[in-house]
Amino acid sequence: MSNKEAKEKVQEQKRIDFVRKEIDDKLNVMEKDIHNIGGDVGQLRSTFWEDVTVNLDEPDDVIETFTSIKQQAELLGERERTYGQIHQQQKVLQKLKDTPYFGRIDFDEEGEGTEEIYIGIASFMDKKNETFYIYDWRAPISSVYYDYSPGPASYETPGGKIEGDLLLKRQFIIRDGKLISLFDTGVTIGDELLLEVLGNNANSMMKSIVATIQKEQNQIIRNEKSRYLLVQGVAGSGKTSAALQRVAYLLYKHRDTLKSDNIMLFSPNPLFNSYVSTVLPELGEENMRQSTIYEYLQSRIGKSFQVEDSFSQLEYLLTETDSLKKENRLKSIQFKSSEGFKKLIDEYLDNLHKDGVVFKDIVFQNKVFISSEELMRKFYEMESHISIPNRMQLLIEWAQKEMKKHARTERKQGWVDNEMELLDKEEYLEAFHAAHKEEDFDYFDQEEKFLRKIIVNKHFKSIYAAIKKMRFIDVSAMYKGIFDLSCPAQLTTDEWRRIGEQTILNLQNRTLSYEDATPFAYLKDKLEGKKSTSGIRQVFIDEAQDYSDFQINYLKELFPYSKMTLLGDINQAIYAHQHNEIVANGKKEDVESIVLMKSYRSTKEIVEFTRGLAVNGDKIEPFNRHGEKPHVVSVGDSAKQIDDLLKRIEDWKGNGYKTIAVICKTIKESSKVYEMLKEKVEARFIQKGTTSYEKGISVIPAYLAKGIEFDGVILYNASSYKGDLEKELFYTACTRAMHGLAMYIEDGILNPYFEWIKEDTYELIDGR
């Protein structure tokens, strides 16, 4: 280190110490504030009713009482919000105290002179709130740090473009307030800092990447031009991390109008939700709404059907040995996932305006009160220009009025006499008090009248609820009706017949295959009317390559006022519907695409091995972090495979690997391997219902490992991957590895995909 560098390091440490002292002062003030406000909150809660004027004698008194309660509640709410905000600020300041900032730029703005800008995860100002000691990474000027090398630079503000010269771009590694190292760098975030971050072992939670955001990732984070932002990123390119920083950026920039509840993330599985759950809180933001497409479809379909999930669909295709059954299922999946099937349903719906809506009888105690024929007649008596959902609302009102008439008649029926004999004391008292409120009270007559009313209303309550939920529409029968239509051009007559027969059989068994879930939910929505999603302003779809054309179009219709960010990698498209690219099907001017070709997750050796499996793999750029070549280990049988695998796990643990995944092709194989391992090593079996990811050894099927990274990955029985459906699954499994990758094959038999992989990119080991 030169004298100049040593001097600069001393100066930067002095500034860190100064800023940490200022943070301590601020925390001390906040501690007093939170103590005082906490006392206020406790006092207000304990004396709430003592401070409220309650008088209900006259109408004016009632209004005064209501106003008094409202004022007291608002005061308590305001104090509680302030308490929560200060508590959140404390957490952010504690993080800043450990690592106040990670970057510095010296920016010479035209006509304004040079300013030193220090950049961290949040802003921090002096005691007078006049000078920034730290700028939030999302502030407009911070974009200069990510986008420019020293020289002419500019950034956008609400007031217009600011231009100037970037004189210095410096990066820091700071731990517990101590400056470990600093680097002056060019346009990219320097390799030294990336190596320091990427060389660490994997965590059980995804980490924030604000200190290492690359220029191309910054384009994703700050993009606000287009309605649909499509990000095609190779495995390990940081697309998911960039998307989460994008959420944080949007919440920061639009903090007055956008809240975390206005953002929805569709993730690949519940395990992934847990994996990314700490990123936004680390940046001082609340997590957005999260769901999988399966959970979302289930909520819209309801509990009347057992809905298959995507993993069960894939498991079927990976394990089915009957080639004819498998081929029929593939045809069904590909057609039902297509835009062509959506168009067929739309044509079917157009015809339902005039005829064909199927209803169910409204029944009570085996007696039909409103027949399906009556419901149909009433529905088609309405003007045909009224939309189907609006007609359904009018039908609800009519049906409920009819049921109220029937309820009055039912009070005289014999079953009510039987129920009256079984009433308990509380129900008798309720009827007695209700009867006493009536004028001309006749004890026996009025009591019996009210008892009968209570009994009938109690039984009819569920009927009114079912009518309100439109349970009288026979969606299942109408979905079956689609398969009575003429054979679509994409299929042969036999294929269409077989698809229809299997679908109808499933519906009779009250089950829906995964490929039917989206079309069924779509038809149901079109009949009943969509539930409001107007509160969602931004939708993020991760692993978008796994969504069918039908699903993407359905989500677009569900969120018509939302902007969408779709992230994916076509090389990891593991499901059976046909996919050529990640699409949003919007107008050209509404869609912007960003391609990420640099991989940061894995060592250069692992990337060079896996690029042979990828479309345009020769264009994938590995980050210059080295490790061992992937090992392909040939063994004689499964017992030998397990023995060698256990030795490798111990070696890797000795090298500091904190997360090791044994990845199998199917859940059945994963279960078998877990049973063999659990007696010899502490391991965890990851299944589709697993909701949290922990350090240690995990046994996991390949399709559940998506989006997650591990220090070391072991592919069990890598010879078994074959056929068109499994190449992407094999690629996905291999690209989960950060530092070490080992694949086990039986008797030297490589899977077919090795013909595209260069022999010098892996080491073949004979472990027999």
Residue ranges of the binding site for ATP: 233-240
Q: Is 741 helix (H, G, I), strand (E, B) or coil?
A: strand
Q: How far apart are CA 120 and CA 283, in angstroms?
A: 10
User: What span, in angstroms and rounded, lies between the C-alpha atoms of 656 and 591?
Assistant: 44
Contacts for 159 with CB less than 8 Å, ≥ 6 apart: none
Residue 606 structure tokens: 């692992």
Which structure tokens are listed for 193? 């800092």
- The residue among 697, 710, 757, 704 whose CA lies nearest residue 602 is 710
* CB contact set of 493 (below 8 Å; sequence gap of 6+): 487
Distances (CA, A) of 297 to 65, 301, 419, 582: 46, 6, 40, 21
Q: How many CB atoms lie within 10 A of CB 535?
A: 12
The binding site comprises 233-240
Beta bridge partners of 595: 232
Report H helices in 47-122.
59-98
Q: How far apart are the first and last CA of the chain?
A: 51
CA–CA distances in Å: residue 120 to residues 123, 168, 173, 457, 560: 7, 17, 12, 62, 36
Check if the beta carbon of residue 558 is closer than 8 Å to that of residue 265.
no
Cα three-residue angle 301-305-311, rounded to 5 degrees:
85
Contact 129, 137 (CB under 8 A): no
Spatial separation of the C-alpha atoms in residues 593 and 615, rounded to whole Å = 17
CA 404/CA 172 separation, integer angstroms: 73
Mutual angle of helices 339-352 and 514-528, in 10-degree steps: 30
Contact indicator for 599, 620 with CB cutoff of 8 Å: yes
Q: By three-state DSSP, how is residue 598 classified?
A: strand
Q: How far apart are alpha carbons 765 and 427 in whole angstroms?
A: 80
The DSSP result for 435-460, as a single string, is: HHTSSS--HHHHHHHHHHHHHHHHHH
What is d(CA 306, CA 2) in angstroms, rounded to the nearest whole number?
A: 70
